[in-house]
Chains A and B, each alone.
Chain A
Amino acid sequence: MSGAIEFARASCWYGPVIALNDVSATIGPGVTGLLGPNGAGKSTFLKLAAGQLKPSQGEVTVLGAPAWGAPEVFHRVGLCPEPDAFWDGLSGWQFVTFLLRLSGFDDAEVKRRAEAALAEVDLLAAKDRRIGGYSKGMRQRVKLAQAIAHDPQVLLLDEPLTGMDPVNRHRVVELVKRLGREGRTIVMSSHVLYEVEAMTRNVLLVHQGRILAEGDVREIRDLLDEHPHAASVRARDPRRVARAVLDLPEVVSVEFGEGGESVVVRTTRPDAFYTALTEVAEEAGVHEVFSPDEDLESVFKYLLARRGGAR
């Protein structure tokens, strides 16, 4: 299967530092979250996809063309870079229209597209103000506007929600989700898990220059044959629950939650655990069971910890 973005055994190093190591990945339509801590290689991944870096080894293609050295690919690629960098003397309008002109549009089309893009990110009212006077959130949004203004098929977003207020964060999240639903290939990097979680369940976990895991959160979990399932049980008597499950051979750990009102159980045999729980449910006054595993963060932390332990 081929995707809009293909990494084929791509490596990239800066001098002696390996930023990305033998990465193979195929990214197709929809929103893909690129997750990893700072320095994991997310930005390098995006820079390779955006043709800003040449792979030291391997190949990176976007829409069938090499990402490096093929400027024509940028007719269909939009990049929202991470650095807070602008020609500060320009207004938001000048910034977006200049870059549209550089994409080859005529004046009428430049005007139409700039208005539409700035409206999408709610900056039309501030379009004539200098970017130097914009707030951090506004600067993030004008970067996004230039990335989407030429209607790209592939959108590369490097930490796009940084500095945005909740209202605009929500607006941008909805915009990105909509663009993904329209069939565009969107890669969004972030080290903040809930940002990615708000947009997609399709993730690539990057750590120390490698793809740690990829796919849907559930698929990722399937990869983790040793990953214990976690269940948080809220009960009137959480100690009773703990006593009931503690002796089960597959239970890995039992911890009391904050305030002592819940107990978090980790087990490699969820079925046995739920059977035991059902037996004590009434006696212990169990009123809520949920799996914190469903949160991306727990999977991410687990994978990182496992990779760390394996070394």
Chain B
Amino acid sequence: MSAEAKPLPPPVPFLRAAKAVFDLSLEEMVWSRKSLVMAGLLLLPVGLALLFRVVANLKHAPAGIDLYGLVVAMYYLRNALPLASLFFATALIADEVEGRTITYLLSRPVSRASILCGKFAAYVVTGLTLTLPGIVASFFLLVPIRGFAGLAAFVPDLLRDLGVAALALCAYGALFALLGVLLKRPTIPGLVFLIGWESLANLPGWLPRYTVTAWVRSLVRHRPVDEGLAELFQTTLPTGEAIAVLVAITILGLAGAYGIFSRKQFVLDQ
């Protein structure tokens, strides 16, 4: 038949398809209720920093850079950012499956890789949009707590922290994207991973190397104040190795997610 004689054109180019998916996903993520909750979570330290500046006796307060270091290391990198990654990245494909909109995406001439990458890019942009302003605001509220003199000397720390946050978002995001395509209900296992497995980072020896947080923490130059025994145990891993491991986690996580996503019959999950 003539229908068969005509060769089919190739799928839509990867970047073009990924951009279309990115645009839609960004719109969906930015205006979602989840984003509002996460924005509250990620901007909480800014509110607390403001309150601190208003009510605390700044003469007796710890050094601003230490407070800021505590916020970045303990709040953002250890808790809020992984949690935000969990809720956004596990839902990248799961929300489409649950909402049954995956059918529309999978009945277009686009590769599944472009769908996954477009969605992951939207997650990274949303995550950065929600996280970075909070870190920047915390820096400018807390570091100059006793005056702006010497503030410029800490700006490289800020830039470093922003880079670490971006890397952490990618690594956690890729892991949770994998979890999201692997499991029908990934949130609880994700929480178990964050609360349980990631706590291994506080143990001595080699165990921290098997967590994401130990690598992320190793990239942050300033250390939280007064950690007591935990400080003794905490392992600081080499910076270059930490970057390589986080990049590898991102690549492997995404590759694994793609491997499952490309083969999975999502109709069966609906």
Chain A interface residues (CB < 8 Å from chain B) = 2-4, 14, 28-29, 47, 50-54, 63-65, 70-77, 79, 81, 83, 85-87, 89-90, 98-99, 101-104, 146, 153-154, 185
Contacts and interface: CB of A to CB of B under 8 A. Distances in A.
Contact of B105 (A4, A50, A102, A185): A102
Interface in B177-194: none
A2 B4 contact: yes
Interface in B14-49: 16-17, 20-21, 23-24, 27-28, 31
A3 B2 CA distance: 10
B100 to A, nearest CB: 3
A86 B110 contact: no
Interface stretch (B5-13, B143-151, B237-245): B5-13
Nearest to A83: B100
Given A87-B28, A89-B27, A103 B12 contact: yes
Contact of A102 (B8, B99, B110, B265): B110
Contacts of A52: 103, 106-107, 265-267
Contacts of A85: 99-101, 103
B107 A77 contact: yes
Given A52-B265, A86-B101, A72 B8 contact: yes
Contacts of B206: none
B229 interface: no
A73 B7 CA distance: 10
B44 to A, nearest CB: 26
A2 B265 contact: no
A70 B4 CA distance: 14
Contacts of B13: 104
A283 B9 CA distance: 70
B3 A102 contact: no
A34 B37 CA distance: 46
A71 B111 contact: yes
Ranked 7 nearest A-B pairs via Cβ: A85-B100, A104-B12, A64-B4, A102-B108, A79-B107, A74-B109, A101-B20
A14 B267 CA distance: 10
Contact of B103 (A63, A75, A79): A79
Nearest to B16: A104
Interface string B111-130: 11000000000000000000
Contacts of B112: 71
Contacts of B109: 71-75, 103-104
Contacts of B152: none
Contacts of A50: 103, 107
A161 B1 CA distance: 30
B58 to A, nearest CB: 45
A98 B20 contact: yes
B268 interface: yes
B1 A3 contact: yes
B57 interface: no
Contacts of B106: 51-52
Given A28-B1, A85-B100, A72 B107 contact: no
B105 A71 contact: no
Contacts of B105: 102
Given A14-B268, A53-B268, A71-B112, 6 more contacts: A4-B3, A29-B3, A50-B107, A71-B11, A81-B103, A85-B100
A85 B31 CA distance: 19
Contacts of A71: 11, 108-112
B10 A51 contact: no
Given A2-B1, A47-B267, A98-B20, A72 B104 contact: no
21 contacts: A4-B1, A4-B4, A28-B1, A50-B103, A64-B3, A71-B112, A73-B8, A75-B109, A76-B8, A79-B107, A83-B103, A83-B270, A85-B99, A86-B101, A87-B101, A90-B24, A102-B20, A103-B109, A104-B13, A104-B109, A146-B104
Interface string B123-162: 0000000000000000000000000000000000000000
Contact of B9 (A3, A75, A99): A75
Contacts of A29: 3
Contacts of A90: 24, 27
Contact of B267 (A53, A72, A87): A53
Contacts of B107: 50-52, 74, 77, 79, 81
A63 B10 contact: no
Contacts of A101: 20, 23
Contacts of A153: 3
Contacts of B10: 72
Most buried by A among B1, B31, B108: B108
